[in-house]
Amino acid sequence: MRVDGKTLIDSVSLDVRGGDLVGVVGPNGAGKTTLLRALSGDLPLDEGAAYIEGRAIADFDAKELARRRAVMPQSSYLPFLFTAREVVRMGRAPWEGERGEREHGARLTDYAMGLTDTRDYAIQAYPTLSGGEQSRVTLARVLAQETPILLIDEPTAHLDLRHQHLVLQLARELASEGAAVVAVLHDLNLAATYADSAIVLHRGETVAFGPVEQVLKPELLSQVFGMEFVLQPHPELERPMLVPLPASLSRERS
C-alpha cells in the first residue's frame, strides 16, 4: 500500500480465525495502524485485498460491514457533549430497526459499560473524561456493537496498569468465546501474556507471524527494535516474559 509515493505496508498476509487473539507489534512507523485500517476496510488497498468469510471487504455495504466487524481506533474525537452512555449506545447503530433492538440495545449498553468499568460516569460528557476513561468508553462502544470480529488499535494506551489487564482480559475472553480479535499493542509482555499469536511488523513488512512462543524471541525482536532483550519464564503462566536491557548494559555485552 502506497500513500503520497510512500509504501506503508507491503506483502503483509495473515489469516485470523474465530477464537484467535492476534497481537500486532512493531516499532513506531512499522505499519501497525495501517494494517488495521486495511483489515477494517477503512483504507482502500491499491494492491491485494482483505476478506471476511471469503468475501472481499470492498463488496460489503457499510451496514453489512458494521455488523461483522467493530473497530476501536487509537483515539476518538467527539466535539459534541454526548454522554458516555450515549457514545456506547452508538455501537448499536448497525442494528437499529431490528425487532426488540430498543430493549436489547439498552441491556447490551449497560452490560458493556459494566465490563469496561465505565458505569460510574455514564452521564458525564465524553469530552470531559480523561484519556483513559475515553478509551474504555470507546471499547464499551465496540463491545456493544456485538460483532464476531474486533479490530482494536492500542487499546491499552492511556490506561493504568489494572485497566490495561482488564481490557486485554476482555479481549482474551471474547476470543475464547469465538470472536476473532486483532489488537495493536506496544507492550510486548501484554502481547505475550494474552495473545495466541503475534505478527511482527517492521518498515511495513512482516518479519514474523505465528504463535507468541515462537515469534516473540529476543534475537528477532532485537533486530526489529534495535535493543536487546532477555527472555524469562513467567512465574505463574506458561508464557514468555521479555526484559529489555538498558542501552549501557547492551553495549557492555557486545
Query: Which pLDDT tens digit goes with each residue over 99-134?
Result: 999 999 999 999 999 999 999 999 999 999 999 999
The helix (H) or strand (E) run that includes residue 71 is strand 69-72
- Whole-number pLDDT of residue 250: 53
C-alpha cell at 175: 476470543
- Work out the angle at residue 37's Cα, subtended by the Cα atoms of residues 33 and 169, and round it to the nearest 5 degrees: 65
pLDDT at 102: 94
Element holding 38 (H helix, E strand): helix 32-40
Kindly give the pairing relationship between strand 21-25 and strand 51-52. Answer: unpaired
**Alpha helices in 52-209, H assignment, sequence order:** 62-66, 84-89, 101-115, 131-144, 161-176, 188-194
Is a pLDDT exceeding 80 seen at residue 46? no
Residues 6+ apart with CB under 8 A from 169: 194
- Please give the residue that has the higher pLDDT: either 88 or 75: 88
For the chain, counts of helices (H) and of strands (E): 10, 12
240-244 vs 229-233, strand pairing mode: antiparallel
pTM of the model: 0.91
> Residues 52-67: pLDDT tens digits?
989 999 899 999 999 9
Give CA–CA dist 209/232, Å, rounded.
21
pLDDT of 79 = 75
